[in-house]
């Protein structure tokens, strides 16, 4: 079995295509490092609340989930991320959390397993 095999989902919007994957340990660590860097940077200066949430939560999660991206600069800088269409980012976010529900705040694995058993 290939160690690079993972579930993926592709999101498209106009000429942009982003393939999101279930996280590997490397993807998870990249996410954690990006979140930490954004949190430290936000403490150093005043950042409007929307930018702060996007920098600490949304951007690291979405960027870390990408397996392949076409039609956008890659690696994607935060300022470029802020200019993306909301429809694209919403689809990307939904795919990311479908494949990586453990990244959601308040994720409860036991509750998810119980719900799956109940069917």
pLDDT in tens, 18-51: 999 999 999 999 999 999 999 998 888 878 899 9
d(Cα 34, Cα 59) in Å, to the nearest integer?
9
What percent of the chain lies above the pLDDT cut of 70? 92
pTM attached to this predicted model = 0.85
Please check whether residue 110 lies inside any domain of the structure.
Answer: yes
| Structural domain containing residue 93 | 8-118
Q: What is the DSSP letter of 62?
A: H
Query: For 93-105, what is the mean pLDDT?
Result: 95
* pLDDT of res. 111: 65
| Total of domains in the chain | 1
d(Cα 75, Cα 66) in Å, to the nearest integer?
10
Quick check: 29 and 64 in contact, CB under 8 A? no
Q: What is the DSSP letter of 108?
A: -
Please check whether residue 82 lies inside any domain of the structure.
Answer: yes
Q: What is the DSSP letter of 57?
A: I
Greater pLDDT, 43 or 91: 91
* pLDDT of res. 44: 83
């Amino acid at each position: 079995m290939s160690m690079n095999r993972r579930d993926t989902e592709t999101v498209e919007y106009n000429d942009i295509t982003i393939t999101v994957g279930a996280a590997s340990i490397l993807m998870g660590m990249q996410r954690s490092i990006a979140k930490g860097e954004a949190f430290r940077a936000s403490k150093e200066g005043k950042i409007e609340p929307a930018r702060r949430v996007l920098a600490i939560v949304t951007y690291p999660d979405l960027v870390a989930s990408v397996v392949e991206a076409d039609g956008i600069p890659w690696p994607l800088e935060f300022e470029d991320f802020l200019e993306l269409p909301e429809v694209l980012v919403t689809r990307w976010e939904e795919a990311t959390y479908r494949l990586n529900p453990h990244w959601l705040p308040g994720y409860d694995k036991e509750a998810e397993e119980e719900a799956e058993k109940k069917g």
